[in-house]
Structure 1
Amino acid sequence: MDIQYIIDRAKGIIVSPKDEWQAIKGESKSNKELIVFYALPLVVLATLAGLIGHWSLNIAVYQLVMPLLGIVVAAYVANELAEKFNSTKNLNNAFKLVVYAATPSFLASVIANLSFLLSWVSLFGLYSIYLFWVGIPVMMETPDDKRLAYVIVCALVVIVVQLIVSALFAPPMAGIY
């Protein structure tokens, strides 16, 4: 695992996303590499912060699995919907889009999970929506006139799927704070 790569990529995608998306598109990282060497370390860090802050083990396991499952679902949704929005269907680019756009959410979770008093930091995760917005024309070659609808439909489908999965598998959250 290359920690410096994670730091540099996180900084690049947050500070200069338009340039970073161009660099990302040209990279040849497999979907597995994106998850194992970028997303997983950030999710593990957020989970460890939650364990330190206030979680039980069953909640920590859930918080470790859900973001990774969310990445996979969101990437497949974005890829499968691509042609409906005159975009290029490419699963690897969809994975890159979802994984790197989620960076602010991952980083905000690390801080917010340390203490209930820091939960407001989670709002920084909303920047992920902007990164997805900026990245979708580059990664999926989405025309400007289709971008808004594509982003909204992707978000709605992913939210519905995650609500269903959460309803079925979420551990009881009572007393975690």
Structure 2
Amino acid sequence: MSLGHTVGLLTHPDREWEAIRNHSESTSMLYVGHVLLLALIPAAAGFYGTTQVGWQIGDGQIIRLTESSALQLSVLFYAAMLAGIYILGRFIDFFAATYEVKDDKPRGVILAAYTATPIFLMGVIAVYPNIWVNMMAGLVAVAYSVYLLYEGLPILMKIPAERGFMFASSVLTVGLVMFVSLLAISVVIWSMGVGPVYVS
């Protein structure tokens, strides 16, 4: 049922957030039916794009990664997405009391997972690793995810729109901090020798 919400979030998000709220779903079922599958899209697309297509800087030669290096990076990226959804979801649950959410059922991971849906789907563009194409597609996906966050949080948490706006802004801030932290962790991991290896 989780993947059934995907089209609805893209076509009629208000009604779909209501349906998600009314559909009782555990975190494990959400991961099995939605997150594990959709997070594979950018990871697999990135693997294919960096090993089979490659990218070019200016008029230089086409650059590709070795399959073992790309696989290693794709697995790390996939794991980071899975962990990131869960951690952000736990932050949302932690903030819920601050914004006077009366519902006892934790819904943070649900909100984080479905909000990230456009980013997962747009990840397919990584099969063509052109920096400008990927950047524009990424901006569109992030913009729609932010829209889903602001639109869906008040519905899912059953709080007034103005309080939902403040709550969503806090969630967005945490998400940005997590993204910067991920970049810093990536630099550390690369310095330990787990960086990209290029085809010579």
Q: Hey, what does 2:137 align to over in structure 1?
A: 121
Deviation at 1:123, TM superposition (A): 2.0
1:152 aligns with 2:169: yes
Q: Distance in 1 between matches of 2:138 and 2:178?
A: 21
Q: Hey, what does 2:64 align to over in structure 1?
A: none
CA RMSD of aligned residues (A): 2.3
The alignment partner of 1:25 has SS state of helix
Select which of 45, 49, 56 maps to 1:49.
45
Q: Distance in 2 between matches of 1:30 and 1:99?
A: 12
In structure 2, list runs of 5 or more residues that go unmatched. Answer: 52-69
Deviations 1:37-89 (A, max 9, x none): 20111111221111100061222012101111111111111111012112235
Q: Distance in 2 between matches of 1:153 and 1:88?
A: 18
Q: Distance in 1 between matches of 2:103 and 2:177?
A: 22
TM-score, with length taken from structure 1: 0.85
Q: 1:162 to 1:79 in 2, by over 3 A?
A: same
More displaced stretch, 139-148 vs 66-75? 139-148
Q: Hey, what does 1:26 align to over in structure 2?
A: 22
In structure 1, list runs of 5 or more residues that go unmatched. Answer: none
Q: Percent identity?
A: 24
Deviation at 1:97, TM superposition (A): 1.3
Structure showing greater radius of gyration is: 2
Count of residue correspondences: 172
Select which of 147, 172, 178 maps to 1:161.
178
TM-score, with length taken from structure 2: 0.76
The alignment partner of 2:140 has SS state of helix
